[in-house]
Structure 1
Amino acid sequence: MGEDGAIRTYDRVLLKISGEALMGDQGYGLHPPTVQRIAREVAIVHEMGVEICMVIGGGNIFRGLQGSAQGMERTTADYMGMLATVMNALAMQSALEELKIHTRVISAITMNEVAEPYIRRRAVRHLEKKRVCIFAAGTGNPYFTTDTAATLRASEMNCQAIFKGTKVDGVYDKDPAKHADAKRYDKVSYDEVLQKRLGVMDASAIALARDNDLPIIVFSLDEPGGFRGILEGRGTCTWVGGA
């Protein structure tokens, strides 16, 4: 869905999901049936011919900021968070390969035994060969979130949009789980997101998306078939882009 409401065709997109999305109803860790359900959503879109890359957070296992808040040195905590994203990426790779989808985990931290190192041209070639690329370990640097990593990789891969799968069907002016009068935005600009602190992504990620004119589509990943529906112009979402 474009900013003018018209349906548009996407050839290459990045799907960003949080680590918490893989927990299911658990309070921690990975819930294999949930991982498999999300993998099926990705497979459906892959079968449409769309080239897909993914970034998955690590908050279901370890979050660097939380570790830092509890007294751990920030750089160490962030590296631990990056390793958590690699674990999630491997779980998603396994689920996708069970569905016969060729998948590559590409890590910003070198660990040749479990993932490929990030080389931009090689990653682009994987996408051209219709392989799903899961970018793990964030940017490889502390102090940067997986939101920023997602925007960076989407820009490097020349993706046409970032699709952010969440538990709600778009961007609201306040938490819809806590406020019955929460208002959902159909469209919102990058600057509004920053000024109103709408929590779509962190400020660095939004600024990078704005600088590269990269739209962000926020939708509910809990809705069966939701990813494909949004790509086809059906369903409810919020389009974040230029004014």
Structure 2
Amino acid sequence: MSRPSIVVKISGKLVEDTGSLQGLVGVLRELINEYRVAIVVGGGRLARKYVSFLGSLQAPKSLMDIAGIEASRFYARVLALALGSTAPVPRSYEEFLTQLATGVNPIVAGGFQPGQSTTAVAALIAEAMRAERLVIATVVDGVFDRDPAKHPDAKLFPRLSITEALRVIESSTEPGRYELLEPYAASILQRSGTRVYIVNGRHPERVLEAARGGEPIGTLLTPD
């Protein structure tokens, strides 16, 4: 009997924090023993630093995207090595599918091509795997009505539809800051029916509970 599949998306900021990374590595090892797991890794501050630098040189946005993807690949490779995997980081959707077919638990960078968000990659992978859940491990507790870093009274939504979440994030006083969801990723999640848990990855136990389908502190997104 085949094991159920899950996808875990990890913010690059969590990879940069080795304390958080150590906790996540332990959780991911547990999950790999229970599920078929694919992991998608963002580029964090490294990506933003060099995207900003190229922007200051007026580089084309597609080249800025490539810099961000390469940063994500480096972080994905670091995580792979921490998990004891020597499998290469897939450089395309087709390479990901090949790894999946050979039984590898793929560790993927947040972007196969320019213009593609990390969440969109995670959504595509969840769809391909028919994943039961997509867990987004980030550095906030979930989706808020306002940026919680600037507004201590911001309200956490424990559950939203994907359409509601997209509306909240787009209408936030700090648009684009959460980097949790964008229209293309939302459309993939809608058509595949994937349930999404958004949790704070600095608390690895929340990632573990969400991946197992529990109810950790965070936000559950459901298809409309």
**TM bin (shorter chain):** 0.7 to 0.9
Residue of 114, 139, 149 corresponding to 1:142: 114
Pairing 1:64-143 to 2, within 5 Å after superposition? 66-67=52-53, 69-70=55-56, 71-97=58-84, 102=85, 104-108=87-91, 118-120=95-97, 122-126=98-102, 129=103, 131-136=104-109, 138-139=111-112, 141-143=113-115
1:227 counterpart = 2:200: no
Determine whether 1:204 maps to 2:184: yes
Deviations 1:178-202 (A, max 9, x none): 2122111121011112222254312
- Cα gap change, 1:103 to 1:210, in 2 (>3 Å): farther
Deviations 1:123-160, CA, capped at 9 Å, x for gaps:
3334xx4x421012612x21111111111121112212
1:52 maps to which residue?
37
Aligned residue pairs, count: 211
Distance 1:213 1:224, change over 3 A: closer
Q: List aligned pairs for 1:27-66, cutoff 5 A.
A: 31=18, 33-47=19-33, 49-63=34-48, 66=52
**1:62 alignment partner, SS class:** helix
SS of aligned partner of 1:84: helix
Unaligned stretches of 5+ in structure 1? 1-9, 25-30, 111-116
CA RMSD of aligned residues (A): 2.4
Percent of paired sites with the same residue: 22
In 2, are the aligned partners of 1:45 and 1:227 still within 8 Å (CA)?
A: no
The structure in which a higher percent of residues are strand is 1
1:241 matched to 2:217:
no
Q: Unaligned 5+ residue runs, structure 2?
A: 171-177
Q: Distance in 2 between matches of 1:170 and 1:137?
A: 20
TM-score by length of 1: 0.77
